[in-house]
Structure 1
Amino acid sequence: MMQQISILLVVLPLLAAPITALVRGKNLAWLITFVLTVVCFGISLWILMDVTTGRVIHYELGGWQPPWGIVYTIDSLNALVALIVSGIAAATMLYAPRSVEKEIPDHLIPMFYAMFQLCLLGLLGIALTGDVFNLFVFLEISSLSSYALISLGKNRKALFASFNYLILGTIGATFFLLGVGMLYAASGSLNMADIQTRFAEFENLQLVSTALMFIVVGIALKAAVFPLHSWLPASYSYAPSTVSIFLAATATKVAVYALIRCLFDVFPMQYWLEMLPTIMITLGSVAVIYGSVRAIQQTGMRRLLAYSSVAQIGYMIIGIGLINESGMTSTLLHLFNHALMKAALFMVAGIYLLRANSTELDDLYGLGKDMPYAFSAMVIAGLSLIGVPGTVGFISKWYLLEGAMQTDHWGVVIVILVGSILAIAYVWKLVEALYFAAPQKPRVQNVDSGSDTIAKSPMLMLVATWLIVIANIYFGIDTELSLGAASDAVRSLLGTGA
């Protein structure tokens, strides 16, 4: 029965998207999307509870057996990523109505929600599929819908950001598809497990090593791995708030997951062990420092958070490069934990945008005192981003430090510590601007409700934000769900057994 239920994660958004695009009422479009995301979240949680017992779910589409047919293979890693995507989607939809109403023209709102559902479909499909070409298809579904969602931002720069993302995303997709084509030419198969099982038959072909390079570069561009990150800051800064929240918390994490899947479940680890780990550790370390320094330099809240994401992705890439249990555990934990941190912070940024019509820090001076709930949420999520004990950010960094010390990568230890100090600096920059700085401009800029009600942020937006903030604390204390799933997945990836 669980096999049939698991396919609903792809089927339900696929059915709901065209229906939502055709409805006329914006409230009905939101309701359909909200119910869809909640149902997907419930299914994902049910699946995760099932596979953490050690079971692997297989679903063969159309009854065609692999390697000829497309198969969905769900283990602890897939289920954890699906839970991240669907959970953030549900929280984002709870947050969305007022934000979307403010930032999207009324006649485009049903189409907006339909595009959101397609993006959800693509990201969940990437998480579930065991077919490398099917992974490409879902990667493009999520990317194309993301381009459309970003372009709907009111700022004209949103169009430029969307176009830039389109160009670079297409280049990444082309690289990935060329790699898949080369791999198919060498192996005659697109099934991940089948390719790895028969890898010894064709591993000496030059085509295979070329395919590896194309696939890694293509996915790295989608994941905004330094130095292929240039599309990310503008995309997160100028997209509608709801889009920034969802993409910042899920899109790059799913791309990192796809990279892990390809490196461990398509190509045997021994095939790339001599070359890639050093490159990953180097690029990840540079990303941590570069992203953090660039975040400090920003004058806009959302752009600061975007560059922070570049640094956080660096931590994930370092964890993969360490190739040990602690390092890989830190990466998989950070997929989950960073989604919670960044969703909360972009939700706060969206509240400030709604209330003050700006996220530029000099327009927000002193506003934290007038909006205490939003400001408190930002502080807690910021502490998690730094890695303060008792928050999810601490758990990820602890395992990464442990992995670096186990392999005597003391340079990585220094990078983690420096990155945390720099994170203190840019989080403090937000705190200082919002709470301690004296207002230099009128606090209300074309806000309908006026200054008398500026502290009255929409209830649903605050509820959604605080649900994610509470999760930042809860999963920093009780790690049974996230750490259990990550540990099971790592043992499977590295072949270390139970």
Structure 2
Amino acid sequence: MPGLIEANLPALQVVLPLVAAPICAMLGKGSRAWAFATLVAFLAFAISISLFIATYGGQVISYEMGGWAPPLGIEYRIDVLNAFVLMIVSGMAALVLPYAHRSVAAEIPAERQPFFYTAFLLCLTGLLGVAITGDAFNVFVFLEISSLSTYALVASGSWRNKRALTAAYNYLIMGTVGATFFVIGIGMIYMITGTLNMADLATRIIEHGDSRTLRMGFVFIFIGVGLKLAMFPLHLWLPNAYTFAPTAVTAFVAATATKVAVYVLLRFMFTVFGFDYEFQAETLKNVLLPVALVAMFAASLVAIFQDDLKRMLAYSSIAQIGYMLLGLAFLTHTGLMATIVHLFNHAVTKGALFMVAGCFILSAGTSSISSLRGIGRDMPWTTAAFVAGGMSLIGLPLTVGFISKWYLVQAALELGWWPVALLIMASSLLAIVYVWRVVEAAYLKPAPEGVTRREAPLSMLIPAWILVGLSIWFGVSATLTTTAASRAADVLIGSSQMLWEE
């Protein structure tokens, strides 16, 4: 039996939360749905750790769904890159769900909570499926599963603020446009190659050579994924969705959804279109590079002037996505490594910060920075967690944020692009400004009179501090994450025949 389970771990990674989701809806009020969803998330995390260990040394796992051999059948193909992403997604779910017990109870009526956890597990299913599948159309299917459930999760914030409904609607419209672009692009490359298996696509595209249809397919996929990952200026759905969604949803989606979309971009760029493709290389250098640089500054500048803490962190996320895309646009091993390691680093940092925002909302009843005056004295542990997470967001040494920016600067200098290296460092100064605004309000301004605020409950503090601890631990000892990122970059470069450096 253990051998049978081990042989089917790739399928169980997706099937387990998928089957568990409708069961949550039938468990009724109380804590049963939450406890069951939490158990499933921890089991999914254990499976992803097992897959990561199995692929860390460079092995590739190929799992044939239903016994149909690829490329005719659907293949789950796991290497160190998507095993790393699977671990990020399932690990964040395993930390967010314990946090969600008190947070969701305060924001969503008890009779609706089982459906909330159903949607949460469906979202987890979709994100895990996107990361694990080796079939291009399957990527679209799982993207839609995660997106549709996320729309519902964002809308569930309407019990606290009705603007969550318009945020979910805007997200729905832009997400649907992105999905349409993506599936049209897949249709175009299928028309050329006659296959949907991503490994087989790479081989057949090389045999086919360049064409207008292939270029259009590339552009449609690029724009579609760009909408999904909130690439500037296609980011308009993100600020309101993060601001008005329940805090547990924001913490999970901010730490996982955009990271999975960046993974999809990496996989299609360097596995599917992974050959000496001048059109792709020019697009990355002439479109993606300037867009990433503008995002780093424009989003950070907007974040400085936000009064709502969640909205400020949302715009910060857009800037951080700019860093990830910048590493991709460098088209070097170090640049790709910076992008991949930042998937993890930003997940733990931003997950912790949004959890802290939820603690403030639970105790103070608001996420307005101007209303959090003096909260550092009333909620010392919560505020200290924000300070530590903010240091990582800035990129100070001994935090994971420093590791990401170190490799980005190194990648820029390897290419001789010292102005870009200076811009990376300059953008960190903007992060200091908006993080300092919260620190100043929390510690240096007097608390409002007649306001009582208590420290957040341990069930919310412990997950936040675990993420803060990870952001410091992997900032001090980054061997595991950087080695995994380096090997993942090797996988992408090894499957690619692009002209990396002139």
Same fold (TM over 0.5): yes
Counterpart position of 1:180: 186
One-letter identity of the residue aligned with 1:21: A
Distance 1:307 1:251 in 2: 15
* 1:441 CA drift (Å): 6.3
Distance 1:456 1:403 in 2: 43
Instruction: Pick the aligned partner of 1:108 from 104, 112, 117.
Output: 112
Counterpart position of 2:201: 195
SS at match of 1:7: helix
Q: Does structure 2 retain, via aligned residues, the 8 Å contact 1:3–1:58?
A: no
Distance 2:265 2:450 in 1: 47
One-letter identity of the residue aligned with 1:188: G
Deviations 1:277-330 (A, max 9, x none): 231110000000011101101011000000000000000000000011111100
One-letter identity of the residue aligned with 1:117: L
Instruction: Pick the aligned partner of 2:305 from 280, 290, 297.
Output: 297
Q: Does structure 2 retain, via aligned residues, the 8 Å contact 1:327–1:399?
A: yes
Counterpart position of 1:464: 463
* 1:26 CA drift (Å): 3.0
Q: Does structure 1 retain, via aligned residues, the 8 Å contact 2:24–2:36?
A: yes
Instruction: Pick the aligned partner of 2:426 from 406, 418, 424.
Output: 418
SS at match of 1:475: helix
Distance 1:483 1:253 in 2: 17
Distance 1:269 1:227 in 2: 28
Counterpart position of 2:383: 375
1:28 aligns with 2:32: yes
Distance 1:15 1:406 in 2: 48
1:283 aligns with 2:291: yes
* 1:205 CA drift (Å): 2.5
Q: Does structure 2 retain, via aligned residues, the 8 Å contact 1:263–1:269?
A: no
Q: Where do 1:380-459 residues align within 5 Å?
A: 380-440=388-448, 442-443=450-451, 451=452, 454-459=453-458
* 1:204 CA drift (Å): 2.7
One-letter identity of the residue aligned with 1:89: A
Q: Does structure 2 retain, via aligned residues, the 8 Å contact 1:202–1:208?
A: no
The TM-score, its normalising length taken from structure 1, stands at: 0.96
1:236 aligns with 2:235: no
1:241/1:281 CA distance change after superposition, 3 Å: same
Distance 1:198 1:266 in 2: 9
Deviations 1:408-463 (A, max 9, x none): 222321221111100111110110111112234653xxxxxxx2xx3331111011
Counterpart position of 1:357: 365
Distance 1:103 1:344 in 2: 19
Q: Where do 1:149-298 residues align within 5 Å?
A: 149-153=153-157, 154-271=160-277, 272-298=280-306
Counterpart position of 1:446: none
Q: Does structure 1 retain, via aligned residues, the 8 Å contact 2:381–2:455?
A: no
One-letter identity of the residue aligned with 1:432: E
Q: Does structure 1 retain, via aligned residues, the 8 Å contact 2:181–2:223?
A: yes
Residue ranges of structure 2 left out of the alignment (5+ in a row): 497-502
Counterpart position of 2:327: 319
Counterpart position of 2:72: 68
Q: Does structure 1 retain, via aligned residues, the 8 Å contact 2:378–2:455?
A: no
Distance 2:295 2:334 in 1: 20
Q: Does structure 2 retain, via aligned residues, the 8 Å contact 1:147–1:162?
A: yes
One-letter identity of the residue aligned with 1:108: R
Moved over 4 A (4+): none
1:306 aligns with 2:319: no
Counterpart position of 1:481: 480
Number of matched pairs: 488
* 1:275 CA drift (Å): 2.7
Deviations 1:343-369 (A, max 9, x none): 000000000000111101111111111
1:18 aligns with 2:22: yes
Distance 1:269 1:433 in 2: 52
- Point out the more displaced range, 200-209 or 231-240: 200-209
Percent same amino acid among aligned pairs? 48
Distance 2:449 2:47 in 1: 48
Counterpart position of 1:447: none
The TM-score, its normalising length taken from structure 2, stands at: 0.95
Distance 2:161 2:215 in 1: 43
Counterpart position of 1:333: 341
* 1:193 CA drift (Å): 0.5
Q: Does structure 2 retain, via aligned residues, the 8 Å contact 1:122–1:138?
A: yes
Counterpart position of 1:133: 137
* 1:3 CA drift (Å): 4.1
Counterpart position of 1:95: 99
Q: Does structure 2 retain, via aligned residues, the 8 Å contact 1:277–1:320?
A: no
SS at match of 1:198: helix
RMSD: 1.2
Q: Does structure 1 retain, via aligned residues, the 8 Å contact 2:136–2:196?
A: yes
